[in-house]
Amino acid sequence: MRAETMSTGAPARPVAWDEEQGAWRVTGFDEASAVLRGEGWSSDPRRLPFAPRELAEFPPGVLLFMDPPDHTRVRRLLGPAFTPRAVEALRPRVAGIADAVLRGLGGEADLLRDVAYLVPVAVIAELLDVGDEGAALLLDLTPDLVRMLEIDADGEALLAAAKAATELMMFLTPLLAERRARPGGDFISAMLAVPGGLSLDEIAATCVLLLAAGHETTANLIANATLTLLRDPSQRHRLHADPGRAVEEFLRAEGPIKQVVRTALTDQEIAGHRVRAGQAVRVDIREANRSLGPLDLAREPVPHLAFGGGLHFCLGAALARMEAAETLPRVFTVFPDMVLRDHHWRDSTTFHALADLRVSGLPD
């Protein structure tokens, strides 16, 4: 079994210049938090000094890549759909989806493919009301779409992501027209009805982001947490006792994101280091979070950066938390005797993510 690939040249200091990557690397919690919550930083990957030209192929309107004032406007319009109250209304359906997914398993399984990936994509398919055909397409497109979020993606990967994004937007185009004429109770209809107006491109791009970021990160969170409890069964009772608290600790210690990048729009100072306008900063979320201590599901929740911070704090955080809190206890209730057989980590500088998670001992 291959060890997890980590970024090379990790500095001992909380802020250091990485000559090989041509960027600052921030690993300290306070320093990382200051960058994510600070002003004068861009999250648009096209501003990076090492940005591949293929990034120009991506559709406009992707919230994660926007800067103010466009980001401020779009996020304000989307915010009401993702409040904890709005998400809480989905809880019974998420629980039903998790139950249905687990009922389909027996004997041996790859819990990443057969559980962690299926639950979030089914939730997104329901949010968008795209039916079984749409759900299958979403699942098929996710691996390529996710490449748009890889910090070190090469041109070939970015073109594959752009192609997948275009295919998804072509699928959504007639749906947008249909929902505009006959609104329903789905997320697309809700976006179309927002006062002040989101453009059709912005709505389609939000659906792309929901699949690329919301599906992938939630799947990774569920799989990482499952692996942790397979390795350390002594903490399972704490998951059952308080799933919400357990999920917060999993987010901190085994969260789905390793790094995010920002470009300085103006000269900045981080822990006494001068970052010049135009320079890139790699914020090592995983290192910053883990600096707060080892995983302990009994601890009181502590601050973490798994969902980022500031302007780009994850819009879907409440949904991801709820999906994990509903799925994880069910996995270990339905399959209390399952045994870890094998697992491999994905080779990624961006995602703390498994490539597979194989178990046996599932009742037929």
pLDDT in tens, 138-181: 999 999 999 888 988 888 888 898 899 889 989 999 999 999 99
Query: Residue 8 falls within a domain, yes or no?
Result: no
> Distance between CA atoms of 73 and 219, rounded to whole angstroms?
29
Query: Residue 176 falls within a domain, yes or no?
Result: yes
User: CB–CB of 116/346 below 8 Å?
Assistant: no
Give the pLDDT confidence score for residue 60 in this predicted structure: 66
> Distance between CA atoms of 355 and 42, rounded to whole angstroms?
31
- Partners of 312 in the beta sheet? none
Number of helical (H) and strand (E) elements in the chain, helices listed first:
15, 10
Token pair, residue 145, equals 């779409």
User: CB–CB of 274/280 below 8 Å?
Assistant: no
Other CB atoms within a 10 A radius of the CB of residue 235 amount to 16
What is the DSSP track for 106-135?
-EEEEHIIIIITHHHHHHHHHHHT-HHHHH
* Average pLDDT value over all residues in the chain: 89
- CA torsion, points 326, 331, 336, 341, in degrees to nearest 10? -150
- CA torsion, points 73, 149, 225, 361, in degrees to nearest 10? 130
Given strand 280-284, what is the order of strands in its sheet?
15-18, 23-26, 280-284, 259-264, 41-42
More confident residue, 204 or 333: 333
Residues in CB range of 229: below 8 A, 6 or more apart? 235, 236, 239, 328, 332
107 three-state secondary structure: strand
> Distance between CA atoms of 359 and 295, rounded to whole angstroms?
22
Query: Residue 2 falls within a domain, yes or no?
Result: no
355 three-state secondary structure: strand
Residues in CB range of 300: below 8 A, 6 or more apart? none
CATH number at residue 213: 1.10.630.10
At residue 12 the predicted structure's pLDDT band, cuts being 50, 70 and 90, is: low
Residue 122 pLDDT more than 60?
A: yes
Residue 249 pLDDT more than 90?
A: yes
Give the pLDDT confidence score for residue 281 in this predicted structure: 96
Query: Residue 3 falls within a domain, yes or no?
Result: no
Give the pLDDT confidence score for residue 125 in this predicted structure: 92
How many domains does the chain divide into? 1
Query: Residue 5 falls within a domain, yes or no?
Result: no
Give the pLDDT confidence score for residue 59 in this predicted structure: 64
Query: Residue 189 falls within a domain, yes or no?
Result: yes
Look at the block and give the residue holding tokens 């039916």: 131
At residue 38 the predicted structure's pLDDT band, cuts being 50, 70 and 90, is: very high
**Closest listed residue to residue 270, CA positions, set 47, 29, 43:** 29
Cα separations (Å) of 166 from 55, 173, 203, 342, 343? 13, 10, 14, 36, 33
Query: Residue 233 falls within a domain, yes or no?
Result: yes
For residue 26, the surrounding DSSP H or E stretch is: strand 23-26
> Distance between CA atoms of 186 and 207, rounded to whole angstroms?
12
Give the pLDDT confidence score for residue 364 in this predicted structure: 79
- Cα atoms found within 13 Å of the Cα of residue 75, Cβ hemisphere only: 17
Phi and psi angles of residue 15, each rounded to the nearest 5 degrees, phi first:
-140, 130
Look at the block and give the residue holding tokens 């299958």: 136
Report the chain's terminal Cα–Cα distance, integer Å.
Answer: 28
Cα separations (Å) of 186 from 6, 26, 123, 193, 324? 40, 40, 12, 11, 22
**Do the strands 41-42 and 259-264 form a parallel or antiparallel pair, or are they unpaired?**
antiparallel
User: CB–CB of 334/115 below 8 Å?
Assistant: no
Residue 300 pLDDT more than 70?
A: yes
Write out the residue range of the structural domain in which residue 28 sits: 15-362
Q: Output DSSP code: residue 64.
A: G
Query: Residue 342 falls within a domain, yes or no?
Result: yes
Among residues of the chain, what percentage have pLDDT more than 70? Answer: 95
Amino acid (1-letter code) at residue 117:
Y
